[in-house]
């Protein structure tokens, strides 16, 4: 199956209902955007970017691997000028979906769409304040080239941020990760790298002041785990912040070496 065929298929299979909803892969594109931009993940992402982003810039953001456009449109709705880079043409999970959303949200020239792979993007150097990718870096065919191209696009002082990237403790863990991934059996396009490989690519691209957020350090990584799930599992106790913190610390220790755990990386262009 292709990636589009996979998504169309799992939408029809009840056992994937939660995955489709939690991954914002539903057929209602507008609902996907509206739920994402109000999620704990996106709120934490905005806070992180605003903390690290220099003040007074134009807020030009390039999203690499934009998929169905949820993040690109969420950033547009929060005042960013966005360039969405996506190689898939489909109306389900690619450029066609982003075009529909851009029309609905009346983006005009504040959202540009480029059909391209990450390793060779037809944009001028030093044209972005932020280069962002959500669950895209681990799919890189050439990891070093992916990050190098992201670095090329950044203005001095700009930030590169890759969120929810699958991490391995060792390259030997890749088979375990692939066997356990719920969609790998359908389209065969999953992948993951070690933390050291991500860091090497970031440094090789000339980026510095690297910040790493691990699996349970931020809602950016651990969503859709939230207070509703804690309450479902723990009852009224799950509504208390200190209980949630204890639960997150427990999960962090339990899944410390889990193949495919999610990390976020942020780095600066000197």
Which is higher by pLDDT, 232 or 90?
90
Q: How far apart are CA 74 and CA 32, in angstroms?
A: 10
- Over range 233-242, report the average pLDDT: 67
Confidence grade of residue 243 (pLDDT, cut at 50, 70, 90)? confident
Confidence grade of residue 234 (pLDDT, cut at 50, 70, 90)? low
pLDDT for the residue 233: 64
What HEC string does 191-251 produce?
CCEEHHHHHHHHHHCCCEEEEEECCCCCHHHHCCCCHHHHHHHHHHHHHCHHHHHHHHHHH
Confidence grade of residue 235 (pLDDT, cut at 50, 70, 90)? confident
Which is higher by pLDDT, 233 or 93?
93
> What's the sign of the alpha-carbon dihedral 122, 123, 125, 129?
negative
pLDDT for the residue 251: 76
Q: How far apart are CA 1 and CA 223, in angstroms?
A: 27
The SS3 call for residue 62 is strand
Confidence grade of residue 254 (pLDDT, cut at 50, 70, 90)? confident
pLDDT for the residue 175: 97
Query: For residues 165 and 265, is the Cβ–Cβ distance under 8 A?
Result: yes
pLDDT for the residue 144: 98
Judged against a pLDDT cut of 80, whether residue 117 lies above it is answered with yes
Judged against a pLDDT cut of 90, whether residue 232 lies above it is answered with no
Confidence grade of residue 99 (pLDDT, cut at 50, 70, 90)? very high
- Over range 115-144, report the average pLDDT: 96
Question: Tokens at residue 143, please?
Answer: 């990891």
Q: Identify the CA nearest to 215 among candidates 242, 248, 241, 191.
A: 248
**Is the overall model pTM greater than 0.75, yes or no?**
yes
pLDDT for the residue 256: 87
pLDDT for the residue 55: 60
- Percent of the chain predicted with pLDDT > 90: 84
Q: How far apart are CA 26 and CA 7, in angstroms?
A: 9
Distance of CA 92 to the CA centre of its chain: 18
pLDDT for the residue 236: 67
Q: How far apart are CA 22 and CA 82, in angstroms?
A: 24
pLDDT for the residue 152: 98
| Residue 88 DSSP one-character state | -
Confidence grade of residue 252 (pLDDT, cut at 50, 70, 90)? confident
């Amino acid at each position: 199956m292709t990636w589009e065929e996979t998504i169309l298929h799992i939408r029809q299979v009840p056992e994937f209902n939660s995955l489709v909803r939690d991954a914002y892969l539903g057929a209602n594109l507008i609902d996907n955007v509206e739920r994402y931009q109000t999620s704990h993940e996106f709120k934490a992402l905005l806070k992180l970017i605003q903390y690290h982003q220099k003040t007074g810039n134009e807020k030009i953001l390039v999203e690499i691997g934009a998929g169905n456009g949820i993040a690109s449109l969420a950033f547009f709705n929060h005042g960013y000028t966005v360039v969405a880079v996506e190689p898939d043409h489909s109306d389900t999970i690619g450029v066609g979906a982003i075009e529909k959303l851009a029309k609905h949200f009346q983006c005009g020239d504040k959202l540009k769409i480029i059909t391209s792979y990450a390793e060779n993007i037809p944009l001028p150097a030093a044209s972005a304040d932020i280069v962002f990718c959500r669950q895209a870096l681990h799919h890189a065919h050439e990891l070093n080239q992916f990050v190098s191209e992201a670095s090329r696009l950044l203005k001095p002082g700009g930030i590169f941020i890759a969120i929810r990237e699958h991490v391995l403790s060792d390259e030997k863990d890749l088979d375990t990760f692939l066997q356990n991934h719920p969609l790998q059996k359908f389209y065969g396009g999953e992948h993951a790298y070690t933390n050291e490989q991500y860091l090497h690519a970031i440094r090789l691209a000339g980026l510095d002041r690297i910040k790493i957020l691990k699996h349970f350090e931020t809602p950016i990584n651990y969503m859709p785990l939230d207070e509703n799930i804690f309450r479902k599992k723990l009852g009224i106790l799950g509504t208390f912040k200190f209980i949630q913190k204890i639960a997150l610390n427990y999960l962090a220790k339990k899944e410390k070496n889990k193949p495919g755990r999610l990390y976020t990386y942020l780095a600066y262009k000197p």
